[in-house]
Structure 1
Amino acid sequence: MNLSEHYNQLYKTSCETITAGKYGIDAELKNDSDSRFGITLLIRPNEEIKANIQRFINELKKAEPEQYFYPDSDIHITVMSIISCSTAFDLNQISPSEYIEIICRSLVDVDKIKIHYKGVTASPSAIMIQGFPSDETLNNLRNRLRENFKKSGLQQSIDSRYEIFTAHSTVMRFQEKLHDPKKLMEITEKFRDYDFGDFDVKNIELVYNDWYQRKSTTSILGDFGLR
């Protein structure tokens, strides 16, 4: 299944689920003692893209103001979840420099990554912007990371939840009962094919993060510039 087909199928099934009132609510969003942390390699969109995304978020907020919306600082694309967030993980269990070395090795010959944000999709508990890499560079990088980390013997949980191949950004999560699921999906339908723009990835970050990539709890471990 290609990326467009994947997003389309996800949207269709999730739209039906949400409209039927069978959506999921993330109870952990309001849990101040949530201690699930991990390390992630990620991409952040540029300011122009984030401004376009906020126009969509503002529409969502009008309909569902009590839900959780990602601020500009937290919007991202996951390149690879290297250690999935869990209460069992703490940064003092690893040596970040060893992870940085493997990432640097994986980035050799990575010339340019370009992402096109076009349209929106959904899961049963969230709304997302669809991202489309311009070529196979991102997937090739992911495969190198998989191979190099699995050879390394370092602590990692790559692909333990699912094998990542998308380039989406989550912008809204459900933390309360929806006021009007049908209205929410009407807004997403309006932006279903909206062109949020494209951008060249200037750098990739390695971060120690909570489940929601909140800036307040995120530490940058490495910053890797692309040519």
Structure 2
Amino acid sequence: MDLAAHYNQLFTKSAQAISSNRYVLDSKIDDENDHRFGITLLIRPLESIKNQIQSFLNELKKEDPAQYYYPNSDIHITVLSIISCRDGFSLSQINPSAYIALIQENIASLKNLEIHLNGITASDSTIMIQGFPSNDTLNSFRDALREAFKNSTVQRSIDSRYTLFTAHVSVCRFRKTIADTTKFISILEKYRKQDFGKFTVDNVELVCNDWYQRKEKTQILHTFLLK
């Protein structure tokens, strides 16, 4: 899959949806009764890169403060959603050590991975930073984990929503009507090719998380060091 072409197609389609008010609002962001939890393996970019992302988000906030903007603490790249967030899930239902062991058996293949966060794209509900891995190890690692979990007896729901192959970072979700879609899209266009920086992946985290990866609702189960 050509990631650049995929991101470009996604942005073109989503910009049209935003312009014609066909974007999707997330009704659960402010719902205190949202109890969707799951298990995710993720990568966190460097703080310096997150700060670059906040500069972009600050410009969006000035134009439209009503949307949901991710703080640095919640910014991440999903490696694999092992148990997709759902109502009723809790850690008491699984043995985390079994998940840790399966991941540890395959983690060595992730060495020498660099990710370049360059430009922005969008869906009809989310603004994202485009991520470009330096080699094929990320998706090879994902495929190895898919096979390992498939051959195991642990609870999982990998790829239940969609098959993940990108390295994007979700940074904004629509929760209110966009104040001025023309101005909003003009800011997106301004940052369409913005270079947010590169970083070498030196660890990945296995976490129990809510739908939005909020720090206050996330529990780190294990950190896998790659060096």
What TM bracket, shorter-length normalisation? over 0.9
1:32-111 → structure 2 map (5 Å cutoff): 32-111=32-111
Q: Which residue of 2 aligns with 1:214?
A: 214
CA distance in 2, matches of 1:12, 1:153: 41
**Structure 1 residue runs of 4 or more that deviate by more than 3 Å after TM superposition:** none
Deviations 1:129-180 (CA, angstroms, capped at 9, x unpaired):
0000000010111011101011012100011111000000011101111101
Q: Any gaps of 5 or more consecutive residues in structure 1?
A: none
Say what the alpha-carbon RMSD is for the aligned residues.
0.8
Deviations 1:69-98 (CA, angstroms, capped at 9, x unpaired):
000000000000000000031110000000
% identical aligned pairs: 55
Q: Which residue of 2 aligns with 1:159?
A: 159
CA distance in 1, matches of 2:101, 2:181: 46
8 A Cα contact 2:38 2:210, kept in partner: yes
What is the TM-score when the length of structure 1 is the normalising length? Answer: 0.98
CA shift in 2, pair 1:127/1:109, >3 Å: closer
CA distance in 2, matches of 1:153, 1:2: 34
CA distance in 1, matches of 2:159, 2:166: 13
Q: Which residue of 2 aligns with 1:181?
A: 181
Q: Offset at 1:110?
A: 3.0
Q: Which residue of 2 aligns with 1:137?
A: 137
Q: Which residue of 2 aligns with 1:192?
A: 192
CA distance in 1, matches of 2:95, 2:123: 35
Which one-letter code corresponds to 1:45 in the other structure?
P
Deviations 1:159-216 (CA, angstroms, capped at 9, x unpaired):
1111000000011101111101111110010000010010001110000000000000
Q: Which residue of 2 aligns with 1:20?
A: 20
CA distance in 1, matches of 2:100, 2:24: 36
Deviations 1:45-69 (CA, angstroms, capped at 9, x unpaired):
0011011101100011011101100
Q: Offset at 1:101?
A: 0.1
3-state secondary structure, aligned to 1:152: coil
Which one-letter code corresponds to 1:9 in the other structure?
Q
1:204 aligns with 2:212: no
CA distance in 1, matches of 2:193, 2:5: 14
Q: Which residue of 2 aligns with 1:121?
A: 121
3-state secondary structure, aligned to 2:151: helix
Which one-letter code corresponds to 1:124 in the other structure?
D
CA distance in 2, matches of 1:110, 1:42: 12
Deviations 1:108-135 (CA, angstroms, capped at 9, x unpaired):
3432211000000001011110000000
CA distance in 1, matches of 2:46, 2:109: 23
What is the TM-score when the length of structure 2 is the normalising length? Answer: 0.98
